[in-house]
Structure 1
Amino acid sequence: MIYGIGTDICDVRRIRASLDRHGERFARKVLSDAELATWRARSERWPERGVRYLATRFSAKEAFSKAIGLGMRMPMSWRLCEVGKLASGQPVIVLHGGLKDWFEARGLSAHISVTDESDYAASFCVVETRQVPP
């Protein structure tokens, strides 16, 4: 049964401007440790690829926060929500700490899709709950 649906579109230019203004501090605020390592590696090779990576993660976390109905308030936080990927490349939501506990206590599962194209990154998230038999 669907618990919630969230979508987000993010202007990549806005993310680039935040990086220009705040530097790595902005990336550290939004990304988990694992995501931060990937962002650094991508940014080193090709800075624009790093910006797009950050924009898709920002968008995915916004969509997820909307799907769970919390927005950006506890236990939801940028760094406790991670966008990983399966060996196939499919993105997955990986949760940590209190957010993971909150999510699992409700028997929820998430499905996430992310994309980016020139100036925009977009994400769509569906959160499901196990239907309790009557």
Structure 2
Amino acid sequence: MVLGVGIDIIEIDRIKRSVEKYGEQFLHKIFTETEISYSLTKANKYQHLAARFAAKEAIAKALATGWGDGFKWKDIEIFNEKNGMPKVKLAGKLAAFVGKEKSLKITMSHSDNYVACFAILYQENIAI
């Protein structure tokens, strides 16, 4: 059963401008060390950072929690499996909120200028 969906689109240049203006402060507020290390090794690092930013926004929308109540950007980590499929790792209150009975899936897409992400929160085997 689908419990929530979220979508986000962002201009890649917006993330580039934020990194150029705020540098490490911006990176370490929004992204985990794993996300930063992964993205900065890519030829188009801003595209990868923007994808992770959009994914976090889409996930927040799917969870319908918003960014208040102690949830942090770095409580959501986006990583890729060996085949390239994006995956989500939650920490802190978000991990407790989702628990073991719910699952999150995301998909990301990009063009030269934009990145979009769609997230779905679901639970299998719900008795109605």
TM-score (norm 2): 0.91
| Residues paired across the two proteins, number | 128
1:15 aligns with 2:48: no
Match of 1:125 in 2: 119
**Residue of structure 2 in register with 1:57 after alignment:** 52
Aligned mates of 1:80, 1:58 — CA distance in 2: 12
- 8 Å CA contact 1:59, 1:123 repeated in 2: yes
For the 8 Å contact 1:75–1:99, the answer to whether it is kept is no
CA distance in 2, matches of 1:89, 1:75: 31
State the secondary structure of the residue aligned to 1:118: coil
Name the CA distance, whole Å, in 2 between partners of 1:75 and 1:67: 17
Runs of 4+, deviation exceeding 6 Å:
none
Quote the sequence identity (%).
Answer: 28
Query: What's the Cα RMSD here?
Result: 1.5
Aligned residue in 2 for 1:101: 96
Q: Distance in 2 between matches of 1:75 and 1:90?
A: 29
Distance 1:120 1:56, change over 3 A: same
Pick one of 56, 63, 79 that aligns with 1:68: 63
For structure 2, the residue ranges without an aligned partner over 5 or more in a row are none
TM-score with structure 1 setting the length: 0.87
Name the residue aligned to 2:6.
Answer: 6
Higher helix share: 1
**Mean alpha-carbon deviation: is it higher for 107-116 or for 96-105?**
96-105
CA distance in 2, matches of 1:76, 1:129: 21
1:114 equivalenced with 2:77 (yes/no)? no
Distance in 1 (CA, whole Å) between partners of 2:125 and 2:20 is 46
Partner of 2:36: 36
Structure 1 residue 75 displacement after superposition: 4.8
